[in-house]
Structure 1
Amino acid sequence: MGESNGSKAVACPPPDLRAPRIGFIGAGRLARALSLALRAAGVPVVGVASRSEASARALAGSLPDCRVGDVEAVARDCDLVFLTPPDGLIAEIARAVPWREGQSVAHCSGATPVAALRPAADAGARIGGFHPMQAFGADPEAALASLPGCTVAIEAGPPLDAVLHDLARRLGCVGLTLPPEARVRYHASGGYASQHVHALLAEAVRLWRSWGATEQQALDALLPLLRGTLESLARSGVAAGMPGPVSRGDAGTVRLHRQALQAVDPDMRDLYDRLCRRGLALARQAGRLDAAGAEGVERVLDASPD
């Protein structure tokens, strides 16, 4: 721009990082839950873009003063942009959007490196990661209710790190500063407390179905057990709170389990054996199982299940 009447063009003022105007690129379940939570916390969400215009309009319709636009408009109008598309699109979007100096860009992927946002950093933007350790279902209200108390993994340099930690606090979440090299391990750990639980319960449901029971009957019986297990974990920790025959050194019951599972499916019995061996290590760690008890269970696990 040129000069007029001897005055120089004035650059736009830097964004106020204490009250950033927030936008979303991606309008899926995480974006819906996070944007609704930000609104409830008094943080303005002013723009949304998505490959699905219907999804973008649905999200914007639940937020006052939020506009639907393309990715360029969201980047232009917002101080902090959350990227919440499928993980495989994050780097592509980072390359395609015209970011600006002083802007902040954070993706909400658990496993994608923050380095995928390097094109934004090259344009002068601050980059980071903001990943809530929570599963988000199809019900927006249920997803919103699940946010308070959850951990948010934050990876960013100053001053964006302080901004993201403040947002986590305002959402009622626990901010966790995550080293870049730990990101994928952190995300994999969540699978054990989420998707792998589903896989284990599916094995249990198969056993109930083997005598003609339904999945609903199995869940009606097993979910109270799971809830009690979670309460024990919260009170006593991973090792000290573990129940079951392995933690007691009950080799006879483990033998009966293996025989029954072998008759249903040898692969199911093999998974049981592997889990029992991990459980032995936990029981020994907690001091609940002496060497003789552990050796008795190990002998059963080493033997043929027939």
Structure 2
Amino acid sequence: MRLGFIGAGRIGRPMAGRLAGAGHEVRVLARSPEARAALGADGLEAVADAAAVADGADAVLVCVFDDGQVRDVCLDGPLLARMPAGSALVVHTTGSPRTAEAIAARAAEHGIDVIDSPVSGGPHDVAAGRITLFVGGADSAVARLRPVLGAYGDPVLHVGPTGAGQRVKLVNNALFASQIGLLADAARLWRQWGLDEEVLLGALLHGSSASRALTGVQARGSVAAFAAATGGFIAKDVDVVRKVAAEEGGDLGALRAALESLAAAHR
């Protein structure tokens, strides 16, 4: 397929590389000459504006940092107007389900399918072709784009209509962040008992409390170190979770206290 890509950062760049490696023709947005030269060295076609990304594309994939940037690119910019009728837009950024739904409504006016496909994992998972994708969208659109998403995603989980991918990802992130918050509370207990946090973290990996969150914390040596390294990304998504829960009448319940513990650890 002929693909456009916007957001070639820590997650997006290895995605674009795997797409090109799978035989797709990939145009990547890069604003500066230096960025375009770097992408060209990786065998990717770099272009200077979103209109060029969209021109003649079968699909455009967006992997920018946050929901505001998604709205700037997909609702306030020329992207949808320049994409061909019958093409598709994939939003990989974690954000509000309402943003995904608004984009889908606008895109429908141009005959464009939209799927939201937030990711769970990191750049190393993309590079290995095993990042998890939570996909929301029409059955036909998801089926058509599976060969594209499968270049880096495994599993590719179709979880419902447009917006459902974001809702699953937000629940996932709330649980993950809450687990870090609980570990922060546990770390305080350990210190009160005079225990060595790093030793105890290593031991807990072999117990029933083992989790992906604990694995990440143990690799950093402490909850505080993990929170400092990942806080920017986690805090962004937690803010979205709280906003969406407030907008849609959701009750965070016990998750709220754990998220507050995480915020305290990050401070």
TM range (shorter): 0.5 to 0.7
CA spacing shift, 1:177–1:191, aligned 2, 3 Å:
closer
1:27 is the counterpart of 2:8 = yes
Contact preservation (8 Å) 1:128, 1:157: no
Q: CA deviation at 1:104?
A: 1.8
- Aligned partners of 2:74, 2:14: CA distance in 1, in Å? 23
The one of 181, 186, 199 aligned to 2:168: 186
Count how many residue pairs are aligned between Structure 1 and Structure 2. 207
The aligned counterpart of 1:174 is: 156
The aligned counterpart of 2:86 is: 102
- Aligned partners of 2:57, 2:168: CA distance in 1, in Å? 29
1:131 is the counterpart of 2:104 = no
Q: CA deviation at 1:215?
A: 3.9
- Aligned partners of 2:40, 2:186: CA distance in 1, in Å? 42
Q: CA deviation at 1:170?
A: 4.6
Q: Deviations over 1:228-286 (max 9, x none)?
A: 568xxxxxxxxxxxxxxxxxxxxxxxxxxxxxxxxxxxxxxxx7xx99xxxxxxxxxxx
The aligned counterpart of 2:73 is: 93
When normalised by structure 1's length, the TM-score is 0.55
Contact preservation (8 Å) 1:154, 1:164: no
CA spacing shift, 1:115–1:44, aligned 2, 3 Å:
same
Contact preservation (8 Å) 1:22, 1:81: yes
Report SS of the residue matched to 1:224. coil
1:84 is the counterpart of 2:70 = no
The aligned counterpart of 2:108 is: 121
1:204 is the counterpart of 2:190 = no
Query: What amino acid is aligned across from residue 115 of structure 1 in structure 2?
Result: E
- Aligned partners of 2:7, 2:102: CA distance in 1, in Å? 16
- Trace 1:1-306 onto structure 2 (pairs within 5 A): 20-40=1-21, 42-49=22-29, 58=38, 60-61=39-40, 63-85=42-64, 86-95=66-75, 96-97=77-78, 98-113=82-97, 114-117=100-103, 118-132=105-119, 134-136=120-122, 140-141=123-124, 143-145=126-128, 147-148=129-130, 150-156=132-138, 158=140, 160-171=141-152, 172-180=154-162, 182-225=164-207
Q: CA deviation at 1:52?
A: 7.2
Q: Which has the higher contact order (CA 8 A, sep 6+)?
A: 2
Q: CA deviation at 1:107?
A: 0.9
Contact preservation (8 Å) 1:47, 1:68: yes
Query: What amino acid is aligned across from residue 37 of structure 1 in structure 2?
Result: R
Q: Deviations over 1:46-82 (max 9, x none)?
A: 2222567766665x25642322421111111532111
Gaps of 5+ in 2: 213-253, 259-267
When normalised by structure 2's length, the TM-score is 0.62
CA spacing shift, 1:193–1:143, aligned 2, 3 Å:
farther
Alpha-carbon RMSD: 3.4
CA spacing shift, 1:229–1:127, aligned 2, 3 Å:
closer
CA spacing shift, 1:156–1:62, aligned 2, 3 Å:
farther
